[in-house]
Structure 1
Amino acid sequence: MRSFAPYACLCAMFPVVLAVNFDTCLQQVRNGDWGPTGGTDNAGHPVSNISEATAITYDLCLVACGASSEPFNWSIFSQQFSAWLLPYLALVSQLPFGANNRLDNLVSMLLTVGSPTLAAYSLALTVLNGAWVAQRFSHLSYPNVRNAVKILSSLQQSSFHIITEESLLASLIVLPENDDWWTELVLWLNYVHTWSISAVASILWVIVAYVFTVVDSFEGVVTASTLNANGQAVGSIFIWLLPIVVGWLQISPKCDYDRVHQAMQRANVIAHVATEDGKSTLASNISNRRAIALQKGGGDIHSDERCTAPIFNYARFLPWTLAVETVYYAFREADEKSDSRQPVDLRAKWEKRDRNEIHPANRRGSLSQVAAYVEPTIHPAAGYAQNRSRWGPGVVSRFLLAALFSLALTWGTVGAAVLVAFYTPTKGIACRSGSYLIYGFLSTFVWMIMVASSVLAHYSTFTISFKGRYAHTKSTRLAGIFSIILRKTGKFLASVNAVWIVLACLFQFGSFYDRCWCNSSVFYLGKNAYNVIDVGPADVEALNAPWIAGVGLASGCAILFLGFINILMNPALPD
């Protein structure tokens, strides 16, 4: 029996720089060049006759073959790269961006690729918010309610504020002169980022390439080198991109900063406010403030909220919900007073109109009367809470539902890739499957800290009143600092993760992982590690079940997520 310890020490001290040829190495082992032991079958069991070995132990692999990888094979690399990875990289260009600078667009792309969990979460939140705001206003019938739902849903990609002072919001809702404001803003926001020829071509390219390469992987001739470089797992781990792109194209988010900014400016030019003499005037004659306007500042804490790329909807979730609530309560009060046939000017009589519409005369009054028309008149004990939650209603249920589907999409696709790589000889967690696990864990971790950052950023806006002044507490200031730290950490990790998953795929296609340590599943098998070199028909046939399961799991999760998006999309609007 020959000892391999001296050779192992030499390999550790003087790394082999020459490329490895595992077929030649196995033939030398079979010829007995390295002694009668160390050969195994493809299940890791020692063989009695070294000439029958189809695999070798990890220790013998280091000695006989070396620690380097197999040589780069351009034909295998180009075939696998163009079939499995290139279509997805092209599909990334179809993601909606729309930020007002290129750096924010680049960051949004890195966040999407680096954390598909965050990308899916923001998409799920968008459709959940759209369904929620439509349901929230569904029982109201005051003029412009339907337009309000459309506008608030469209502004999910924008950071905006609601101003109730000086009766700005009340005037916008109550005065009949502002009907044009609601109509025009809906019209100007009704631009579509939808199915272009390039988007359809990219999506079809991914689908066709995925189907063809999956079929080819089952039908083609499989060898040890092509088996390890096979992109079956790569196709599964990137399939999450398909429902994300299709979902955003269907929603058509209003994320073009310039167009949204111009739409708000045009609408606010025709906004009216009430005056004390009972006549309305253009808001521009009073001040530069408007009831609904885009945020211009907010500091570094709220920088993600101001970025219009849809992936940052996670950061706007809580402030957007509170803004919707402010508008909803004003509409609700006006709706209930109109249902009671109460005009804005209490000294006037209720004017009737055909078709159950509210006569414009019932919606006019002085500044104080308009302000009072949207204020609650019933005691909070009767159900009208004056001190509303600073977090907003229904945020927990929407968060949990969005988190559930985004995690299912992430780990359904990552799990499929791990499943395929795990059962590819040698079975176990190794370089390929480990790379996918790292990608999945980092994706989830980035999502967690980015969501935590958004919660802390929202908490940092809480203030206390002291002698008429509002000030931040020590806890809110600390929350703002930690929010910035978490957000920057998350973006850095997402960028690293995006680069990592692309490199991991290139390593797989370029034979970088075809080395003793990776092929022997040392991390998983430990001292029992072995390297399968000669792949037989039985091994290939055994791969059919995990490969089919991987394709089914990844495709099923993608279809399930897209189905969830389509169910909630385009909710019924108030009449």
Structure 2
Amino acid sequence: MMRINCNSATIATVLCFFFIAFPPVSASANFTQCLQAVKNGEFGLDGGRDNKGNPVNVSEATAISYDLCIAACGSGPSPFDWSAFSQEFSSWLLPWLALLSQLPFGANDKLDNFISVLLAVGSPVLAAYSVMLTVLNSRWVAHMFHKISYPNVRSAVRILSSLQQAPVRVSRDPHLLPSLVVLPDNDEWWEELIEHLDYTYTWSVSAASSLIWVLLAYIFTIIESFTASLAQLVEVNGQGVGSVWLWLLPVVLSWLQISPKCDSLHIEQAVRRANELAHVATANPHESVRASTIDTRRAIYLRHGWGSLRTDERCTSPIFNYARVFSWTITVEEVASCFHQASKRAGRFEPVGQQKWVRGDRNIRVQIENRVGTALEVQEYCGYYPDLTMPPRWGAGVWSRILVASLLALFLQWGTTGAALLIVWLTPTRGLGCRSAAYLGYACVSTLVWAILLLSTILSHYSSFSKIDPMSGQPIYNTRSRVAADLSVALRRLAKILAAINAIGIFVTNMFQFSGFFDRCYCDSSVIGLGKNAYNVINFEEEDVSSMRTAWIGGVILALGSATLFVGVLNLLINPPLPEA
């Protein structure tokens, strides 16, 4: 039996949809002929308009009322032109679709990768938010450790920053984390993990070619729109399409610069290999043992198997970083706290055990002899008492990072989509029509998806905190936690459905634009915005062309400006200075 690949199936689906959705050419309307028939008086003397919607004699009309348009031209679209459709689709939409392949995925599950594409296209706000949040988190973790001077602190910053794409956790065992921080036997653990996480998702010939192709396509779109003749001007659709997809360029460029560690199998193997080398302190100050000889618990590990509540947190695709911001922040704080206490004690020349302090030199400030002791001494040295304290509920500075990332993401979304909206809104007939309504709806749903997923993450994290029973030491879940967990799952599923609908919707909108489906009386008359005063401009005048080109210049500046500012801010924040080795 013949096997059909995904690409063939996709093309077949699109073609089937196209021929089903679009009416045949015989049912199409020719608006130039309609206007001439109106001028000849074939449909009476009422309904003539100028290009500003003012009533005029039908013999002098360059536009007609919506009711007259329906009567004279019918409700169908303008004739479909396959040559124009294929040229516009391949020039202005296909490069953006190809650029989607350069987004970082990394999940071992194909369905998770597909969902991440739908989320990115369905909510550019979420895609940009995850990008900027990742950069802000990396900068914050470097700031958390910048005054700490202790062995392996630089490796800790790099590892914690790299594990933003994983469900990383710290064990609440009182000896594991302090042993990992203090014991010299665990130096190999830090070196092993940083070595296996030191791979890059970065520039390639394919990525560079896709970015250049898209940029050139957008530039050609701009040039064509400003050099087109009066007859061709109305048919130029690339301005709006190029602007509404322009968010993808800075997002892909940003991920290539960040180089996220998102390969799920690679991360799992790196953490597992390192944890095989982990040592834990014992009652003997001069003898540590492999943690694997005691049990399966480790100081830093990847947590799985939570069920539906933590589905997004487990997925290593970087767009899901929004779901890990709270748990990752708390993990960083616990590790930083241990390093901070150890660094402070070392700064006072206090060794871990009862031995005297061995002075270091300019190469090794804290000698190995100062870093050995019993399990209790190691725990006390780091001041780590998880049995007596609960981890912080939300984490330090997390809300300010969320706010900054949100503002920049919203700016990129509404800057690019707003430019597309401005271009089609100010193209006669001016007002809210099919094209502008589709763009406005796309941006609104994109923002709504991001807001719902952010709320879902807050509820999910809130539900994971509960009081501890002082007798049994087990968590006590209350009704509010259960309700928050159920609501979080429901909101997350709703957001993904909305994102999928929005992603399909913007693709169908672009197909409608290129095929001429929107070139009908209802859409060209901006009925949605003008209502009973709707009219259809058919013949453009020089004044219209001048104002259109002015609006398009403003749209280009807005779209490129918002994308450039997003990338510029990211480059100011990326690659913060690391602590001294």
Q: TM range, normalised to the smaller chain?
A: over 0.9
Q: 2:61 aligns with which of 53, 73, 76?
A: 53
What do the CA deviations read for 1:9-42 (whole angstroms, capped 9, x no partner)? Answer: xxxxxxx982111111111001110112211111
Counterpart check, 1:486 vs 2:491: yes
Counterpart of 1:447, as a letter, is W
Counterpart of 1:527, as a letter, is K
Counterpart check, 1:405 vs 2:414: no
Counterpart check, 1:396 vs 2:399: yes
SS in 1 for 2:105: coil
Within 5 A, what are the aligned runs for 1:266-305?
A: 266-278=273-285, 279-305=287-313
Mapped partners of 1:439, 1:106: distance in 2: 20
What do the CA deviations read for 1:410-463 (whole angstroms, capped 9, x no partner)? Answer: 000111011000011100010000000000000000000001011111011011
Counterpart check, 1:324 vs 2:332: yes
CA displacement at 1:71 relative to structure 2: 1.9
CA displacement at 1:223 relative to structure 2: 2.7
What do the CA deviations read for 1:510-558 (whole angstroms, capped 9, x no partner)? Answer: 1111111110011111221100111233322221111000000000000
CA displacement at 1:389 relative to structure 2: 2.8
Counterpart in the other structure of 2:86: 78
Counterpart in the other structure of 2:423: 420
Q: 1:509 aligns with which of 501, 504, 514?
A: 514
Counterpart of 2:437, as a letter, is G
Counterpart check, 1:547 vs 2:552: yes
What do the CA deviations read for 1:223-247 (whole angstroms, capped 9, x no partner)? Answer: 37x5155221110010000000000
Counterpart in the other structure of 2:268: 261
Counterpart of 1:29, as a letter, is V
Counterpart check, 1:523 vs 2:528: yes
- Judged with a 3 Å threshold, the aligned counterparts in structure 2 of structure 1 residues 427 and 228 are, in CA distance, closer, same or farther, namely farther
Mapped partners of 1:292, 1:309: distance in 2: 20
Question: Which sits farther off after the overlay, 475-484 or 271-280?
Answer: 271-280
What is the number of residues matched between the two proteins? 550
Question: Which sits farther off after the overlay, 531-540 or 141-150?
Answer: 531-540
Runs of 4+ residues over 6 Å off in structure 1: none
Counterpart in the other structure of 2:453: 450
Calculate the TM-score normalised by the size of structure 2.
0.93
8 A contact 1:229–1:510 mirrored in 2: no
Mapped partners of 2:266, 2:421: distance in 1: 43
Counterpart of 2:263, as a letter, is D
8 A contact 2:225–2:236 mirrored in 1: no
Mapped partners of 2:464, 2:554: distance in 1: 48
CA displacement at 1:190 relative to structure 2: 0.5
Counterpart in the other structure of 2:105: 97
Counterpart of 1:285, as a letter, is T
CA displacement at 1:204 relative to structure 2: 0.1
8 A contact 2:178–2:384 mirrored in 1: no
Mapped partners of 2:93, 2:191: distance in 1: 45
Question: Which sits farther off after the overlay, 449-458 or 163-172?
Answer: 163-172
CA displacement at 1:352 relative to structure 2: 1.2
Counterpart of 1:551, as a letter, is V
SS in 2 for 1:293: strand
Counterpart in the other structure of 1:216: 224
Cα RMSD between the aligned structures? 1.5
Mapped partners of 2:382, 2:305: distance in 1: 28
Counterpart of 2:268, as a letter, is H
SS in 2 for 1:161: strand
8 A contact 2:122–2:499 mirrored in 1: yes
CA displacement at 1:296 relative to structure 2: 2.0
Within 5 A, what are the aligned runs for 1:58-207?
A: 58-207=66-215
CA displacement at 1:266 relative to structure 2: 1.3
CA displacement at 1:376 relative to structure 2: 6.5
Mapped partners of 2:504, 2:415: distance in 1: 21
8 A contact 1:351–1:359 mirrored in 2: yes
CA displacement at 1:480 relative to structure 2: 0.5
Mapped partners of 1:539, 1:290: distance in 2: 70
Task: Report % sequence identity.
Answer: 51
Mind listing any 5+ residue stretches in structure 2 that lack a counterpart?
1-24
Counterpart of 1:46, as a letter, is P
Mapped partners of 1:388, 1:173: distance in 2: 18
Counterpart check, 1:370 vs 2:378: yes
Counterpart in the other structure of 1:246: 253
Counterpart in the other structure of 1:23: 32
What do the CA deviations read for 1:131-172 (whole angstroms, capped 9, x no partner)? Answer: 000001100001111100000000000001101415111110
